[in-house]
């Protein structure tokens, strides 16, 4: 099946006489008849649900759908995209370890890594994604545990050079973690291009309707954790009476270790209700992503021609620095997000934001409605001006998330707002 079919058909599979639509199992607990059976669940000898902090059938339907779309071996639905990134790092690194990231990460991820996780003793370096493989290699240390990048950077919109970055990672025995939020598995499947672990903020296009904050951590099952760099995977874990993850779980070592230790201990799990709504949203992901991409390309071309617009950044534009990478890794569409600057700088950009009527000012991207914001004074305002620039946020940058409304109405709205500048 292609992804457009998988997003509808994968995940929940009703048996004879069961509901056709994936049901909401709003229960924390599961009833068993036999004490030994529950002991086997705790010992991980039997598969099944015991407590919804660790797993739940409705969350499972969403996990299975996205695992199948991404081509992985398992996933965990988390309470947010932030908690998916947190679990990805903590499953590989502890105090004294090091992670090499691309410098154009989403501002919240940058804060999580550079401030909060640094306080816990994990070191991070942030390298320009346009650096050569040789330059990236210089950052790798003995204690490096992973590399981390975004398929499409938020909001720099650089497309990740998967071949370059995954080659550096694998040459050094490191897994590559990729945030695939802006692309979704319909437009890009990072495991096909060398990524080993994927995180998603399902809050964005996977839900698509701005109803639920959520995240997903997905495992490709391809990375070899027995290569000597990851003793936590290959030596007995005292918190699980001596379990050795690579021996017990094979290709699912990464994702099951994350579930039975980190999700158990930290509890940043997705609520069943959010999984229920997100799963319904995910069913239309393919048609939505095709339309978002088509609308965004038309808007980007319109802005590029507009006399009041200073610059436009959209990876689907031929003029764009990431155009070649977008053709290679996003051949079916470059998603719905555009950044642009209006002549007159930040004040002129804010005037557009204040004068649109159909588009709305919200702190969000990736839902069916068109909206926009000013990252320097909003999402990225906690970053220093230098860190903002490293993340690709200039003072005049307006971020536009193009929705799936009629394209003529979106263009009319922008035309009217620009006329007022």
Where does this chain bind ligand PLP (CB under 6 A)?
A: 80-82, 106, 108-109, 150, 154, 179, 181-182, 201, 203, 213, 215
Question: Measured from the CB of residue 363, what is the shortest distance to ligand PLP in angstroms?
Answer: 8
Supply φ then ψ for residue 321, to 5 degrees.
Answer: -60, -30
Q: Let me know: does 69 contact 186? Beta carbons within 8 Å.
A: yes
Nearer to ligand PLP by C-beta: 136 or 391? 391
Question: Measured from the CB of residue 273, what is the shortest distance to ligand PLP in angstroms?
Answer: 16
The residue nearest ligand PLP at its CB is: 81
Nearer to ligand PLP by C-beta: 217 or 417? 217
Q: Let me know: does 400 contact 154? Beta carbons within 8 Å.
A: no
Other Cβ atoms within 10 Å of 308 Cβ, number:
13
Nearer to ligand PLP by C-beta: 183 or 300? 183
Nearer to ligand PLP by C-beta: 52 or 201? 201
Question: Measured from the CB of residue 174, what is the shortest distance to ligand PLP in angstroms?
Answer: 21
Nearer to ligand PLP by C-beta: 246 or 279? 279
Question: Measured from the CB of residue 125, what is the shortest distance to ligand PLP in angstroms?
Answer: 19
Could you tell me where the DSSP H helices lie in 35-138?
35-42, 57-70, 81-90, 107-111, 118-119, 133-137
Question: Measured from the CB of residue 34, what is the shortest distance to ligand PLP in angstroms?
Answer: 39
Nearer to ligand PLP by C-beta: 120 or 362? 362
Q: Let me know: does 317 contact 331? Beta carbons within 8 Å.
A: no
Question: Measured from the CB of residue 19, what is the shortest distance to ligand PLP in angstroms?
Answer: 28
Question: Measured from the CB of residue 72, what is the shortest distance to ligand PLP in angstroms?
Answer: 18
Query: SS3 breakdown of the chain: % helix, strand, coil, rounded to 5?
Result: 40, 15, 45
Work out whether the CA dihedral 27, 33, 36, 40 comes out positive or negative.
negative
Nearer to ligand PLP by C-beta: 179 or 219? 179
Nearer to ligand PLP by C-beta: 367 or 407? 367
Contact partners, residue 13, CB within 8 Å, separation at least 6:
none
Contact partners, residue 43, CB within 8 Å, separation at least 6:
none
Supply φ then ψ for residue 400, to 5 degrees.
Answer: -115, 125
Q: Let me know: does 120 contact 95? Beta carbons within 8 Å.
A: yes
Sheet containing 360-361: order of strands = 309-313, 337-342, 397-401, 371-373, 360-361
Nearer to ligand PLP by C-beta: 363 or 419? 363
Sheet containing 74-78: order of strands = 74-78, 215-219, 197-201, 176-179, 144-150, 98-102, 123-127
By the 10 Å C-beta count (0-12 exposed, 13-18 middle, 19+ buried), 20 is classed as exposed
Question: Measured from the CB of residue 295, what is the shortest distance to ligand PLP in angstroms?
Answer: 19
* The pair of three-digit structure tokens given for residue 187, joined into one six-digit string: 């437009």
Q: Let me know: does 73 contact 63? Beta carbons within 8 Å.
A: no
Supply φ then ψ for residue 285, to 5 degrees.
Answer: -55, -45
Nearer to ligand PLP by C-beta: 67 or 184? 184
Question: Measured from the CB of residue 393, what is the shortest distance to ligand PLP in angstroms?
Answer: 13
Question: Measured from the CB of residue 31, what is the shortest distance to ligand PLP in angstroms?
Answer: 33
């Amino acid at each position: 099946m292609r992804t457009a079919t998988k997003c509808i058909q994968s995940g929940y599979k009703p048996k004879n006489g069961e509901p056709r639509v994936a049901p909401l199992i709003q229960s924390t607990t599961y009833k068993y008849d036999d004490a030994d059976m529950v002991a086997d669940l705790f010992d991980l000898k039997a598969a099944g649900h015991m407590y919804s902090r660790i797993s739940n059938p409705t969350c499972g339907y969403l996990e299975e759908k996205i695992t199948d779309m991404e081509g992985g071996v398992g996933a965990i639905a988390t309470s947010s995209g932030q908690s998916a990134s947190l679990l990805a790092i903590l499953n590989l690194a502890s105090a004294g370890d090091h992670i090499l990231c691309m410098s154009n990460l989403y501002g919240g991820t940058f804060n999580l890594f550079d401030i909060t996780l640094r306080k816990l003793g994990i070191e991070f370096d942030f390298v320009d994604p346009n650096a050569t493989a040789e330059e990236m290699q210089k950052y790798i240390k003995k204690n490096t545990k992973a590399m981390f990048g975004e398929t499409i950077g938020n909001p720099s919109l650089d497309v990740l050079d998967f071949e370059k970055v995954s080659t550096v990672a694998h040459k050094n025995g490191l897994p590559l973690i990729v945030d695939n939020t802006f692309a979704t598995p319909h437009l890009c499947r990072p495991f096909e291009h060398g990524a080993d672990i994927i995180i998603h903020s399902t809050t964005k296009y996977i839900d698509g309707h701005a109803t639920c904050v959520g995240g997903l951590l997905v495992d490709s099952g391809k990375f070899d954790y027995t290569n000597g760099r990851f003793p936590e995977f290959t030596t007995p874990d005292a918190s699980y009476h001596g379990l050795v993850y690579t021996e017990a779980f094979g290709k699912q070592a990464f994702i099951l270790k994350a579930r039975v230790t980190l999700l158990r201990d930290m509890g940043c799990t997705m609520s069943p209700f959010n999984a229920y709504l997100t799963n319904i949203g995910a069913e239309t992901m393919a048609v939505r992503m095709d339309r978002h991409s088509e609308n965004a390309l038309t808007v980007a071309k319109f802005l590029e021609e507009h006399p009041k617009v200073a610059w436009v950044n959209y990876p689907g534009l031929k003029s764009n620095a990431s155009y070649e990478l977008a053709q290679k890794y996003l051949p079916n569409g470059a998603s719905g997000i555009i950044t642009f600057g209006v002549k007159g700088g930040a004040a002129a950009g804010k005037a557009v934001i204040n004068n649109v009527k159909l588009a709305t000012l919200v702190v969000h991207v990736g839902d069916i409605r068109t909206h926009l914001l000013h990252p320097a004074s909003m999402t990225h305002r906690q970053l220093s001006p230098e860190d903002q620039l490293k993340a690709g946020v200039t003072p005049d940058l307006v971020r536009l998330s193009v929705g799936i409304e009629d394209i003529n109405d979106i263009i009319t709205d922008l035309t009217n707002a620009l006329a007022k500048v």
